[in-house]
Chains A and B, each alone.
Chain A
Amino acid sequence: NAGVTQTPKFQVLKTGQSMTLQCAQDMNHEYMSWYRQDPGMGLRLIHYSVGAGITDQGEVPNGYNVSRSTTEDFPLRLLSAAPSQTSVYFCASSVQVNTEAFFGQGTRLTVV
């Protein structure tokens, strides 16, 4: 059981570039989510999904896009990277809403 796997671990982008952060889980969890963590702060929710084909916005969705075509995968797309998107990104999954969440190891993204 790999749990929640995020790739890449580190990424540097130029302003205006696009990229996809990958997230996969092998626990057959229905609920998946993306958070960002900025220095000195807790994590803030970007987007979430309660099951395949269903996604919704969190607190800070602007500049990000998601889709959920399978139960296992929940990629996060940055459409046109900006320096304000420099952050550490975490993907999480849980059996369903209001159950224990498990986090991936994070992706450290720098936009220059």
Chain B
Amino acid sequence: GIQVEQSPPDLILQEGANSTLRCNFSDSVNNLQWFHQNPWGQLINLFYIPSGTKQNGRLSATTVATERYSLLYISSSQTTDSGVYFCAVEGGTASKLTFGTGTRLQVTL
């Protein structure tokens, strides 16, 4: 099945800093999503982005499908950005999302 690798596994930032999270995947995909799991365990949809670039406020994402990676950019980070960021992909004939193991982000004052 398709493999998903996220980096870095852990990240500590000071409030106001920018960061880039990376997701590499091993095969072509029909679906790629970024999620934020907040400290209460909720999975929040950030982007549905099988290709191209999208922006939503301080967050943006780019997927380069031909090179099999996606990037999530967080600018001017805030403490509320803390949590775990997951990349999940759906590829080929598989009827499921395959999740990476996540990037744990901690934003400090």
Residues of A bordering B, CB below 8 Å: 31, 33, 40-45, 48, 50, 56, 58-59, 88, 90, 92, 97-103, 105-106, 108
Residues of B bordering A, CB below 8 Å: 4, 30-31, 33, 35, 41-43, 45, 48, 86, 88, 90, 95-97, 99-102
Q: A56-B95, A101-B97 are in contact. Are A42 and B86 (CB under 8 A)?
A: yes
Beta-carbon contact of B42 and A106 below 8 Å: yes
Q: A40-B101, A97-B90, A98-B30 are in contact. Are A45 and B43 (CB under 8 A)?
A: no
Q: A88-B41, A98-B90 are in contact. Are A33 and B31 (CB under 8 A)?
A: no
How many Å lie between the Cα of A48 and that of B90 in the bound state? 14
Beta-carbon contact of B30 and A58 below 8 Å: no
Residues of B within 8 A of A42 (CB): 4, 86, 88, 99-102
* 22 A-B contact pairs sorted by A residue (CB < 8 Å): A33-B96, A33-B97, A42-B4, A42-B88, A42-B99, A42-B101, A43-B86, A43-B97, A43-B99, A44-B99, A48-B95, A48-B96, A59-B96, A98-B30, A100-B31, A100-B33, A101-B88, A102-B45, A103-B45, A105-B41, A106-B41, A106-B43
Closest to B87 in A: A42
How many Å lie between the Cα of A40 and that of B101 in the bound state? 7
Residues of B within 8 A of A102 (CB): 45
How many Å lie between the Cα of A90 and that of B30 in the bound state? 22
Since A45-B96, A45-B97, A108-B41 are in contact, a sample of 8 more A-B pairs with Cβ atoms closer than 8 Å, ordered by chain A residue number, is A42-B86, A43-B99, A88-B41, A99-B31, A101-B45, A103-B35, A103-B45, A105-B41
Q: A42-B101, A108-B41 are in contact. Are A98 and B31 (CB under 8 A)?
A: yes
Q: A56-B95, A105-B42, A106-B42 are in contact. Are A100 and B48 (CB under 8 A)?
A: yes
